[in-house]
Structure 1
Amino acid sequence: MMRIGEAARQFGISTRTLRYWEEAGILVSTRDRNEYRYYDEENVALIAQIAALRSLQVPISVVEAILRSRDVAEAARLLESHLVRLRSDAARGTRLAVVVGDLIGHLSSARTLAEGLRSLGASPPAAADDVVVDGTGPTEGSTMSALTHVRLVQLPALTVAAYRAVSAQPEDDCSRVMNPFVVGNRLDEQPGFRFFGFNNPDPSPNEPTYGYEMWVTIPDGFEVPEPLRGRRFDGGLYASTSTQLPEIGERWQALVRWVRASEDYSADSCRQWLEETTMPFAAFASDDVDDGDKQLDLLLPVVPR
């Protein structure tokens, strides 16, 4: 038997992602009287398969379809489609490399920058090479590699109502309090509505419980009822990227790597990282919407170097 934290470390998958696979019915854990989650040998093997497929940049939806089918022929068919996408990406990268090489040649013989760049024409040469296969863009499933799109976001100062839960499933416990509070007070209909969450405290390898806190913006003069509390958020500069809920652990790891590699920005440990809902709140809070369709922005506080 392997504890969830040990499985997360061994296979490089966040505990939240492992819980997603449980909720999807792919993994099954058992719990002892202290609420620790354990995986038996069969489920550890499934985790290894998930990690192996994700290391090949197989999208979560395809991994789920493969593991649900448990059929060799179906797995091969699904991976064939993924192979087409990978080859499209590789071909596009090769074409871009050729164009960049030609551009360098033009620049080396040009008298001015404008003359050298004239070879590019009015639009990027590879723009038409973005291939769509089965309705999927060429970059789907690339979350295991480096991030290609990170935004710098200046969050304003905000007044929020906050609630924190500490348990084995604090996100769910927070949602049971915050969701009816938001909907009942029609806060999601207010101008400038924003909804955030974050670990508080983070999960610990030897502790089955951890904390999660949620914030919702409130209008000036709004009276916050117990057990919620009002607080002021000072805002600040954040590096941000988007994610869907099942990929959140991988995307956080990639965002941290991006900041560490940045020559211009470093992480600000004095401010709180955040996860912000970026879709209509009613849909995000609904049990009828699949977790794979729920969208978030990840926000990591940064300062200029």
Structure 2
Amino acid sequence: MGLQTISQVSKGLNISTRTLRYYEQIGLVNSVKKDDYAYRTYDEAAIRRLEQIIVLRKLRIPLKQIVLILESDNISEVIAAFEQNLTEVDSEISALSTIKSILNRFITHLNENMHVGIKLNLLDDASILNIVNSLTVTKAKFKEERSMEDLNQANHRLRKLRDTDVRIVYLPPATVAAIHCVGRLAEIESGNLLGKFVRDHHLAQIKPDLRHFGFNHPEGEKPDGSDHGYERWVTIPEHMEVQKPFLKKHFQGGLYAAHMIPMGAFEEWGLLSDWAMNSAKYEMHLGDQEIYYGLLEEHLNYINTYSLSPDDSTQQIDLLLPIKEKMVL
């Protein structure tokens, strides 16, 4: 297979370079650098490990447990991790099976009374209770063998965002202090600088409603990620002045589609984009290329977490996609 650059791995495994960089930052996978080659690359072992991570993510296993599964020499710990996820899946199957059974009973009830021409009291509390009490809910039975294609199709169906998964939010205009770093560790370096800025200026005290945004700047094209940049903003009082390397900027705000992810699930940018392209009411409204077309990541509850490192897996992030309402013809 040979060594592959980050861009080659990204295309070959259909995984974003941002996600690859994050996996490396948290020690989940390692790249290598040869003395006679300028770029960092991924060897066959790293690529094989990435393939394992991708499969585990499609099985809806959190990154924290993936680290345990791949690193632990204790088979009992690995089994326990799988069993915990299996219990959660069983609960979902039972819930969905109950809903399916009730819907089937409703359909049967309506077909039996179709000649009456009315829905009767189908949705009365007593009627629902009678139907539910008559159910015998059984867990779904699956074939023992499933192919990778089956897994990919299941993952696509389960990970597809519905309207209820996406919040429509308006971000108000704001004055921000911006820090921009370039290089393989741009996210970490900019995060450390921003955290120091917040502490040094006691920003949590003078602006308790502060918000923290970030975005790729630029995405970067070099295989080693040395030209990749990340910019972070923290909202500040309008009158406040900042010193280099920070810049004072004005954010215009606007309408956004918001989808919350745990730290590291950056592949869900694709899910949010798919939602926007298939929405009946909204469409993407991309903006200035200098701020990554308006695609923002907001670190939620930042006022309580700015002392943590940017790769802390307990953090939650809002993916923010600029949108506008579709024109009604």
TM-score (norm 1): 0.82
The 1:22–1:168 alpha-carbon spacing in structure 2 relative to 1, beyond 3 Å, is: closer
Higher alpha-carbon Rg: 2
The CA deviation string for residues 249-283 of structure 1, in whole angstroms up to 9 with x for no partner, is 12212211211221111111125111111124352
Q: 2:100 and 2:199 mapped to 1: Cα distance? A: 51
Aligned residue for 2:294, secondary structure, equals: coil
Given that 2:6 and 2:41 are in contact with CA atoms closer than 8 Å, whether structure 1 keeps it comes out as: yes
2:258 corresponds to 1:240: yes
Q: Is the 8 A contact 2:214 2:230 kept in 1?
A: yes
Question: What is the rounded CA distance, in whole Å, between the counterparts of 2:191 and 2:311 in structure 1?
Answer: 16
Once the two structures are superposed, residues 206-243 of structure 1 have per-residue CA deviations (whole angstroms, 9 ceiling, x without a partner) of 46221211111111211122222222111111111111
From 99, 102, 105, the counterpart of 1:102: 105
Shift of 1:101: 3.2
Number of residue pairs matched by the alignment:
286
Between the aligned partners of 2:85 and 2:312, the Cα distance in structure 1 is: 22
> Which deviates more from structure 2 when the two are superposed, residues 277-286 or residues 212-221?
277-286
**What is the aligned counterpart of 1:269 among 286, 300, 310?**
286
1:145 aligns with 2:159: yes
The alpha-carbon distance between structure 1 residues 172 and 290, as it changes in their structure 2 partners (threshold 3 A), is closer
1:158 Cα offset (Å): 0.9
Residue aligning to 1:279: 301
Summarize the Cα distance change of 1:290–1:224 in structure 2 as closer, same or farther, 3 Å threshold. Answer: closer
Structure 2 residue corresponding to 1:16, chosen from 18, 40, 44: 18
**What's the RMSD between the two structures over aligned residues?**
2.9
Residue aligning to 1:168: 184
Gap change, CA 1:250 and 1:107, over 3 Å in 2: farther
Which position in structure 1 is the counterpart of 2:27?
25
Distance 1:77 1:182, change over 3 A: closer
CA contact under 8 A between 1:103 and 1:117: conserved in structure 2? no
**Counterpart in the other structure of 1:298:** 319
* Structure 1: unaligned runs, 5 residues or longer: 130-141
The 5 A counterparts of 1:220-235 are 220-235=238-253
Q: Which deviates further from its counterpart, 142-151 or 275-284? A: 142-151
Alignment counterpart, residue 253 of structure 1, candidates 252, 270, 273: 270
Checking the alignment, whether the CA contact within 8 Å between 1:246 and 1:291 is kept in structure 2 is: no
Checking the alignment, whether the CA contact within 8 Å between 2:217 and 2:229 is kept in structure 1 is yes
2:221 paired with 1:204: yes
Secondary structure of the corresponding residue to residue 117 of structure 1: coil
TM (normalized to structure 2)? Answer: 0.76
Q: Kindly tell me: are residues 103 and 188 of structure 1, through their superposed partners in 2, closer, same or farther at Cα, counting changes over 3 Å?
A: farther
Secondary structure, counterpart of 1:246 in structure 2: coil
Residue identity opposite 1:24 in structure 2: I
Q: 1:58 aligns with which of 56, 61, 69?
A: 61
SS at match of 2:261: strand
Distance 1:205 1:55, change over 3 A: farther
> What displacement does 1:48 show?
1.1
Matched position secondary structure for 1:222: coil
Taking the aligned partners of 2:218 and 2:118, their CA distance within structure 1 comes to 56
- The CA deviation at 1:32 is 5.0
Aligned 8 A contact 2:190 2:231 in 1: yes
Q: Displacement, 1:202?
A: 1.4
Of residues 81, 84, 94, the one that matches 1:81 is 84
Q: Give the aligned residue type for 1:19.
A: R
Moved more, 174-183 or 261-270: 174-183
* Sequence identity percentage: 31
Partner AA of 2:299 in structure 1: T
> Which residue in 2 is equivalent to 1:139?
none
User: What SS does the corresponding residue of 1:57 show, helix, strand or coil?
Assistant: coil
